[in-house]
Chain A
Amino acid sequence: MPADTAMPAPAAEINSGHRLLEVTSLVKHFPIKSGLFGRAGAVVRAVDGVSFAVDAGETLGIVGESGCGKSTTARLIMHLIAPDSGSVRLFGKAAGTLDLPMKTYRSRVQMVFQDSYASLNPRMTIEDSIAYGPMVHGVGSGEAIRRARQLLDRVGLDPARFAGRYPHELSGGQRQRVNIARALALEPRMLLLDEAVSALDKSVEAQVLNLLLDLKEEFGLTYIFISHDLEVVRFMADRVMVMYLGRVAEIGPTEALYTDCRHPYTQALLGSLLSMDPDRRTETAPLAGDPPNPIDPPSGCRFHTRCAFAEAMCSSRTPALEATNPGHEAACHMTDLASGHSKARQHSQEAAR
C-alpha cells in the first residue's frame, strides 16, 4: 500500500484491485433514553461487530431485513455518526487523521440516500444542489455549475431542461439521477448506495441500475450496494454480505452465495424469492415473524430463535465467521465441524463434494 502520497492516482487505485475500504469490528449502540434525565440503560445494538473489506472496482451488496443494521453501517462508513468502537479505513488510512482529513475522505466516499425527495434541498435548483459539494471543496462557482451541467447530461437529464428546476418538479427517478450526479460531483472513488433504487418503480429502477453500471465502468467506481431486494443485489453485486441483527451472517461471491449458501438465514431469505422456473418450486419455508428486538438480542447465535436447525448449543455459543470456501464465509455452527452441532458434518460433506 503506497503510504507516500495522501491521495494516490486514481488509475493506480482501480487497476490493481487492491483493498479500497476496510471495516474492522464496527460497533454502534444507540442508547434508549428513558425517564426525565435520560437514564442510559438499554441500548439498541444496531451494528454489533461488523468487519468486511471492499476491493477497488468491485460491488459489494449488503442485504438483510429491516432493522438489521444495513443503513447504520452505511452511515458509519460515511462518518455521519461516530462508531462506539471499530474502524473504517480507506487505502489503509483512517479518516479524520493527518494522513486522510475528513474533508478529503468525504470527497472520496459519497452516498446516495433512499428518499430522493428528502435528500434534495427543496429551496435549491438542481444545478445548485449538485454544485454545492464541489464549491465546499473550493471549486469556483462557475466551474462547479459547469461540472453540474456535465453530470446532469451524463446521468441522462438534459441540462437545458432540468438545471434550473426545483426538486418537487421532478419525478422520483429523475430526482434519484440528480442525487447520483450530486454524489459524483466530488469525483469519489466509492459510492454508498443505501436503498438507492428501492423507492423507484420497476421500469425506472432498471434504468437507474443500468446507469449505475455504466457510471461504474466510466468513472472506475467501487459500490457498496445496500438493498433488501435480493434480485437487484444479484444483478448488481460481485460479492454479497448478509446481515442479521447487527452482525454479518454470511459473506461470499454472489453466484456462490445464491446457489450454495451456507447460513440458514441466507437460505430462508433466498427461499422468500419467487422462482421464475415452474420446475423449480420454492421449497424452503419463508421466515416467520419479525426479527427479534435488537435491544435485547438472542444469546449465542442471534438467528437461533427463527432457525429451523437450531439446537441447544446455538443459544449458548456465538458462531464466528468461518471460511467454507475461499472468500466465502458464514457465521453458523453447522459450517464448523468442531462446533458439536449435529448437522455440522453433513454440511462439510456437501462442501467436499
Chain B
Amino acid sequence: MLKAAPADSSALISRSPGYWATVWRRFRRDPVAVGALAVILLLLFLAILAPWVAPQDPYYGVTLRRLRPPGTDGYPLGTDELGRDMLSRLIYGARLSLFMGVTPVFLALIVGSVIGMTAGYVGGLVNTLLMRTIDVFFAFPSVLLAIALSGALGAGIANGLISLTVVFIPPIARVAESVTTGVRSRDYVEAARASGAGAFSIIRHHVLGNVLGPIFVYGMSLIAVSMILASGLSFLGLGVKPPEPEWGLMLNTLRTAIYTQPLLCALPGVMIFLTSISFNMLTDGLRSAMDIKA
C-alpha cells in the first residue's frame, strides 16, 4: 500500500476499492455461495493431498472383501466390486473428475473467447463467418457431439479432453461475441477511438476488463456440465479406463451391484452431484456479486 509516492500528493488521493474487491465484499455476504466455495476448496484440497489423505491404496483390492457396505470396520465407505476401499477411490477420483471438469472448460475459454471477441469487436463479415461456423456445432446436442468425437478419436483421457473442449467452444464463443458486441457499442469505447487509440489498445484497456468477467462466470457454470459429460463418457467407456478411479467410471462398474448394495452404488453419483451443484451455486453467487449497479 505505502509505495514511494511520486513528487505530488498521490499519498493523499483517496482510493475506492477496485472492482474485484467490491465483488468479493458482496460475494462474502452470500452464505450459499460461500458454502459452495468451501465445498469446492475442500474437494480441491482432498484431490491435491490424496496420497496423504486417503486411508488406503485405491488400486489394491482384496477379492474376499468385495462390496462391503459403508461402515464396515476399516472401510468407512465400504468396498467396491473388486474389494478396493471406496473412500480412497472417491478421494483419488476427485483428481481425475475435477481435472476432466476444469481442463476442457479452461481450454475452451481461451479458444472460445478469442473467437467470440474477434467476431464481436471486428463485426461485419468476419462476425458472420465465425459465428455461422460456430452455429454448425450447435446443430448437435452437446452429449451426442462429445460421444461422437470421443468415439471417433478413440477412448482415453486426452481424447476425452479434446472432445469436451470442442463441445464447449461454441457456447463460450457465442457468449463472448454477444458481450463484446455490447461493450463495443458503448460510448467509452467510442470515446477511446475518438482519442486516437488503436484497436489493440482499446481491446486491452477497455474491452477485456469489461468482457472477461461475464465470460469467466459463464465458463464456471460449464464446469458442472463438463464434469457430468466427462463422467458420462467414462460411464460409456469412452473416457477414463479402468482401473483409474474416476467417479463416472466408478458409477459404471458399480451398477451391477445396484440390487445388492444400492447405497454403495450411489456414492460416486453423490460426489458428482455435490461437485456440480457447488459449481452452480458458486456461479450464481458470483454472478449476482458482479452485478454492481451505479
Question: Given that A106-B196, A137-B196 are known contacts, is A119 also in contact with B14, CB under 8 Å in the complex?
Answer: no
Query: Contact at B205–A132, with CB atoms within 8 Å?
Result: yes
Question: Given that A113-B190, A132-B192 are known contacts, is A166 also in contact with B16, CB under 8 Å in the complex?
Answer: yes
**B interface residues with partner A (beta carbon < 8 Å):** 6, 8-9, 12-16, 19, 186-188, 190-198, 201, 205-206, 209-210, 292-294
Q: In the complex, A196→B9 CA distance in Å? A: 31
Query: Contact at A146–B8, with CB atoms within 8 Å?
Result: yes
Which chain A residues border B14 with CB–CB below 8 Å?
160-161, 164-165
Kindly count the residue-residue contacts between A and B in the assembled complex, taking CB atoms under 8 Å apart: 94
Query: Contact at B16–A123, with CB atoms within 8 Å?
Result: no
Query: Contact at A163–B188, with CB atoms within 8 Å?
Result: no
Query: Contact at A119–B19, with CB atoms within 8 Å?
Result: no
Residue in A119, A149, A165 whose beta carbon sits within 8 Å of that of B191 in the complex:
A119
27 contacts between A and B (CB under 8 A): A80-B190, A80-B193, A102-B196, A106-B195, A110-B194, A118-B188, A121-B210, A122-B19, A125-B15, A125-B16, A129-B188, A132-B195, A132-B205, A136-B192, A136-B196, A136-B197, A145-B6, A159-B9, A159-B13, A160-B13, A164-B15, A165-B16, A166-B16, A166-B19, A168-B294, A182-B195, A186-B195
Within 8 A of B (CB), among A118-148: 118-125, 127, 129, 132-133, 136-137, 142, 145-146
Which chain A residues border B209 with CB–CB below 8 Å?
121, 123-124
Question: Given that A163-B13, A168-B294 are known contacts, is A119 also in contact with B196, CB under 8 Å in the complex?
Answer: no
Query: Contact at A132–B16, with CB atoms within 8 Å?
Result: no
With CB as the reference atom, state the residue of chain B lying closest to A133: B195
A: number of interface residues (CB 8 Å): 43
Query: Contact at B188–A120, with CB atoms within 8 Å?
Result: yes
Query: Contact at A121–B15, with CB atoms within 8 Å?
Result: no
Closest-CB distance, B20 to chain A (whole angstroms): 9
Closest-CB distance, A353 to chain B (whole angstroms): 46
Tell yes or no: A111 within 8 A of B by CB: yes
Closest-CB distance, A227 to chain B (whole angstroms): 17
Query: Contact at A123–B19, with CB atoms within 8 Å?
Result: yes
Which chain B residues border A182 with CB–CB below 8 Å?
191, 195
Q: In the complex, A111→B190 CA distance in Å? A: 10
Residue in A117, A120, A160, A168 whose beta carbon sits within 8 Å of that of B9 in the complex:
A160
Which chain B residues border A124 with CB–CB below 8 Å?
205-206, 209
With CB as the reference atom, state the residue of chain B lying closest to A175: B294
Closest-CB distance, A103 to chain B (whole angstroms): 4
Query: Contact at B12–A160, with CB atoms within 8 Å?
Result: yes
With CB as the reference atom, state the residue of chain B lying closest to A192: B194
With CB as the reference atom, state the residue of chain A lying closest to B186: A118
Which chain A residues border B15 with CB–CB below 8 Å?
125, 164
Closest-CB distance, A106 to chain B (whole angstroms): 4
Q: In the complex, A186→B194 CA distance in Å? A: 11
Closest-CB distance, B217 to chain A (whole angstroms): 15
Q: In the complex, A121→B183 CA distance in Å? A: 10
